Structure 1
């Protein structure tokens, strides 16, 4: 169920270059159904900026009624959000969208989790849930540079983790698909989130595997009413378009045309 709630900021810290980790508390957390869902946050109590900001849920704890958000503070809205202090309240709408299902992997299998930049956070809760049910997780995390790397230790605590940077300043140099070409992983299912070119490359590389892709798309309302995040599909006339905010952001491989 989607709810609108005032949530208090428990903690906030910078974890990489312009990357903020923020923990919020409130009973909205009890409505989260799956990793990969997101929330829509009003960053001020006025209508300036007008639009809410969509931010992925990196992890959540229903016992504590807390959720962790990780976002890049680069525009006016996210910079205003990053500047908020502990105990401040924010207006949160969510949880929104359809996320990843840990049921797509079973105990004893290996799952490949591939993240790029700010697409890394949604994979953290997924990895925790998969690991808890006995699925081996291998993480390939791509960033622009060493300054942009975050959550390496957190992912490494859950399974094999490779860091790949475009400039080679941390981990392997290149892109996530370069790392996988050099050192292949034997896996059953892949889960990925990141920029569209990365999703396209991953889907092409593993066209014969079961996969699930989470799309990053500009959004207006976040609930499927404004049609700002519409994408074409590859499934023909039965479903020519999907809305990333409400139909996704997670889709099986081969559904969205990229």
Structure 2
């Protein structure tokens, strides 16, 4: 049993390491009131700041009880951890589930834990791409419409022969991120006015990230080339400033419409 429990702990630690967190087993940590022995201690920065998670590995044949949840809640509070997890082989009694509701203690089987933490990681990655889109979009709209047309960043009103339209790419990327946030795969990435990089369909998260990397890098390159040409020709006169916090970008409204249309189709 001791060997099985040790292996269970190590599998949990290895999972957190595999998603980019720092994790170690059998850690003694000083709290405000006393010292605690922790099965798995996890440190991560996925939410934009230093976080500490405490994980209890219950390789038991019996279900975890309410008392064990209350104990972990007190440990989490004493050491100032951000979240506690109990990972159980056998599951949880109803009292344990009730004791964890609306608290910072989460109860999971190992398979549920892997799915849950994967969602956390994917959410943070999508958040980073959304922030990058905001920076690109502010650069894009900082140039006058005439300048964007002249330097190949969008098509003219009656000319659909061009192969790049920044607004369409931004809106497509934003709607794709929204769909990925609710795990609505496959995601259609086809564009009408813009030649894209990569596949036109993302069947999973990794394929979407590959598409975002290819196309946002392409957009960055187009902007840099256009802005350098503007500078050389004396046309580089961007409107300086970022979109205020809490205010939507133009293509977010377009993406909302695309997202709602797809939702209504279902």
> TM-score normalised by the shorter chain: which range applies?
under 0.3
More strand by share: 1
Structure with bigger gyration radius: 2
TM-score computed with the length of structure 1 as normaliser? 0.22
| Bigger helix fraction | 2
TM-score in terms of structure 2 length: 0.22
